[in-house]
Amino acid sequence: MASLEAIVVPIQNEFVLSVDDIATLVLTVAAGSLLILFAAGALVDRLGPRRIFTAGAVISVVGAATVGLAADYGWLVAGRIIGGAGGTVLSVASLAIVNATFSDDRERAHVFGLFAAVVGAAFVVSPLVAGVIAESLGWRWVPLAWMAVAATAVLCLRSCPVPAGVGDGRGELVLPLAAGAMLSAVCVAALVVRGGVGWSLLSLAVAAIALALLMVRWRTLRAAGTTPAFDVSMFAVPGAKPLMGAMFVVAMVNLLFYANLFVQYRLGFTPVESARLFVIPQVAGVLGGVTGGWISARRGSLRTTAGALILGGAAAAVFVTVTEQTSAGYLTVLLCLFTFAAGSLVGTLTKAFLDCAQPQSSGAAASWRQAGWSLGSTVGGVATGTIVFTYFSATWQATLRAEGLSGDAARWAAEAVRSGMPLTQVVADPGVTQLVGGSAIENLVGLTSAQVDTLRLVGLLAAGSYLVALACVLVAMRRQTVGSDD
């Protein structure tokens, strides 16, 4: 994901994609991941994480090859869906191993802090590597790095002991596949809604059918006295449900994605320059992960999570101070504050939720954790993208009309920029020649102001999502406190 965001502009230029298409391309990974998500957890508990992990690596390689050889946008999306399925299998299997291996609470806190730090480190290295490869060889060589990651992960797994009690489960796969199909269909419905309500309704109909199959199968198994493979036992633990809600909500607004777009479009940075700017914030995220684990071992994961949400929400809200004169240095400081909190949050919130599961249900718990993040990022990403890009178009149109441009010309210019049309082509249109407000073509009348206002809006949306997630965590703390008293 980190390396993809570093090459979205070269991909957009080659295939002449709109910003909506790019946002969708980033989010399509969830369609594949949700489809296989619960089946992956069930297979881990049934067959063990080692074989399932290796299978996930193979699927990831296939997805990477599909992206690298893509002839059009459809193949790009297909490759991302396949890669999402493979990446989810890798994630679920590895989290299941970690969750079942470490039982001491203080030790678990440090381990999940390290987990968050490793995730942050990947977001430091990946954009730089991808940017260098894209500028020197072309973006199509970047998927080779994805293949190398999958192969290296399998080699690392060979030296990883599989804990006792993982891989001994039994159960059928109809329920996990039905649940995955339902969530994947909901995800697709959100992704295709821009292309037409009909396709979205069709996807929702598939989700409804999958839900009906899930319910019928569940009742049949329970009536026969069989324990369903679709493990929901962790939700019987007080606080598990609101923690699931917190994971869903906190993933809804990808502030870093929009900040990356802002840097590349507004400041004119190349992928490598943009990646370099994000190195310091991502290092702050690594430090946040380690710090979160250290604090969690002493103060508890729920309290640490609540503190990280407060800090992250405040940092996101400060983005309202961004102006047309904001320097890259100031933006870096804001990003550092946010990524430090987000880095701490990844490990502590994951640990808090996985604490609700028994070791023998580690695969299922890891699946539910991934479901919360994936579904939240997809549904929230579509909603956020629609709000943000619509706001950008409306704001710039209003400015252009105030400058004397006709309503049709203003609407055409805004939609042209949103659809990815080069600025040189926009200003070459006879109806909008007056758009140029300076010597540089990027100085289109009101464009800078619209881009800045849009980034401010994203900051407020991110702050709002963190506030709602904080409320969920506080509810979980309350329920766990009451449960322990009982």
pLDDT in tens, 51-79: 888 999 999 999 999 999 998 888 998 89
Say if residue 141's pLDDT is above 70.
Answer: yes
Domain assignment present for 213: no
Most trustworthy range by pLDDT among 226-230, 364-368, 450-454: 450-454
Q: Is the pLDDT of residue 415 over 80?
A: no
| Backbone dihedral angles phi then psi of residue 444, each to the nearest 5 degrees | -65, 145
pLDDT at 486: 45
Together in a domain, 374 and 309: yes
Per-position DSSP letters for 64-95, written without gaps between them: HHHHHT--SHHHHHHHHHHHHHHHHHHHHHHH
Is 199 contained in some domain? no
Do 93 and 237 belong to one domain? yes
* Separation of CA 24 from chain center: 12
Residue of higher predicted confidence among 461 and 400? 461
* Structural domain includes residue 216: no
pLDDT of residue 340: 92
Same domain as 29, residue 45: yes
What is the pLDDT at residue 441?
46
> Which residues are CB-neighbours of 438 under 8 A, at least 6 positions away?
none
In a domain, 75, yes or no: yes
Give phi and psi for 162, each to the nearest 5.
-85, 120
Indicate if 242 and 311 belong to the same structural domain.
yes
Checking if the pLDDT of 171 tops 70, the result is no
Closest CA relative to residue 309, chosen from 462, 202, 122, 204? 462
DSSP for 258-289 reads HHHHHHHHHS---HHHHHHHHHHHHHHHHHHH
The residue ranking higher by pLDDT, 461 or 431, is 461
Q: Is residue 179 part of a domain?
A: no
Q: For residue 219, what pLDDT is reported? A: 82
pLDDT at site 471: 95
**What are the structure tokens assigned to 24, written together?**
């969708």
Task: Identify the bridge partners of residue 444 per DSSP, sorted by sequence position.
Answer: 436
172 DSSP 8-state letter: -
Residue 193 lies in a domain: no
Helix pair 49-68, 73-101: axis angle to 10 deg: 160
Closest to 375 in 3D by CA, of 151, 185, 150, 196: 185
Whether 182 contacts 214, CB under 8 Å: yes
CA distances, 174 to each of 31, 177, 435 (Å) = 18, 5, 58
Q: Please check whether residues 141 and 63 belong to one and the same domain.
A: yes
Residue partners of 382: CB distance under 8 A and separation at least 6: 23, 24, 27, 190, 191, 193
Hey, which of 175-179, 216-220, 350-354 has the most confident mean pLDDT?
350-354
Q: Is 87 domain-assigned?
A: yes
Q: What is the reported pLDDT for 336?
A: 92
- 210 found inside a domain: no
Domain range holding 439? 404-445
Report the percent of the chain where pLDDT is more than 90. 18
The full DSSP string for 358-414 is -GGGHHHHHHHHHHHHHHHHHHHHHHHHHHHHHHHHHHHHHHHHHTT--HHHHHHHH
Same domain, 426 and 346: no
DSSP code for 26: H
**53 compared with 119, residue with greater pLDDT:** 53
Res. 470: pLDDT tops 90: yes
Report how far residue 311's alpha carbon sits from residue 317's, in angstroms, rounded to the nearest whole number.
Answer: 10
How many residues are given for the chain?
486
Q: What is the pLDDT of residues 310-364, one digit of tens each?
A: 999 999 999 999 887 878 888 889 999 999 999 888 888 988 888 887 766 666 7
Question: What's the CATH number where 362 sits?
Answer: 1.20.1250.20
Domains contained in the chain, number: 2
Using alpha carbons only, give the angle 481, 485, 486 rounded to the nearest 5 degrees.
120
| pLDDT of res. 445 | 66
User: Cα–Cα distance between 293 and 313 in angstroms, integer?
Assistant: 20
- pLDDT for the residue 243: 93
Instruction: List, for residues 263-275, the tens digit of each pLDDT value.
Output: 766 666 666 677 6
Q: Do 159 and 60 lie in a common domain? A: yes
Pair 338, 294 in one domain: yes
In this structure, the answer to whether residues 365 and 410 fall within a common structural domain is no
pLDDT recorded at residue 440 = 45
Q: What confidence category does residue 439 fall into, taking pLDDT thresholds of 50, 70 and 90?
A: very low
Question: 182-200 pLDDT, tens per residue?
Answer: 888 887 787 777 666 777 8
Q: How far apart are CA 347 and CA 142, in angstroms?
A: 28
334, 315 Cβ separation under 8 angstroms = yes
Distance CA 351, CA 109 (A): 7
Alpha helix (H) ranges present in 192-270?
Answer: 197-223, 240-250, 255-266
φ and ψ at 169, to 5 degrees?
-75, 170
Q: Are residues 353 and 422 in the same domain?
A: no
The mean pLDDT value for 280-285 works out to 86
352 or 408, higher pLDDT? 352
Max mean pLDDT among 211-225, 321-335, 391-405 falls in 321-335
d(CA 200, CA 210): 15
Closest listed residue to residue 170, CA positions, set 226, 124, 213, 130: 226
Residue 226, classed as helix, strand or coil, is: coil
| Residue 317: per-residue pLDDT | 95
How far apart are the C-alpha atoms of 128 and 272, rounded to whole Å?
6
Looking at the structure, do residues 49 and 114 belong to the same domain, yes or no?
yes
* Mean pLDDT over each residue of the chain, to the nearest integer: 81
Same domain, yes or no, for 283 and 154? yes
The model's pLDDT over 238-265, given as tens digits with 9 standing for 90+, comes to 888 999 999 999 988 888 878 877 776 6
DSSP, collapsed to helix, strand or coil, labels residue 436 as: strand
Determine contact, residues 284/340, Cβ cutoff 8 Å.
yes
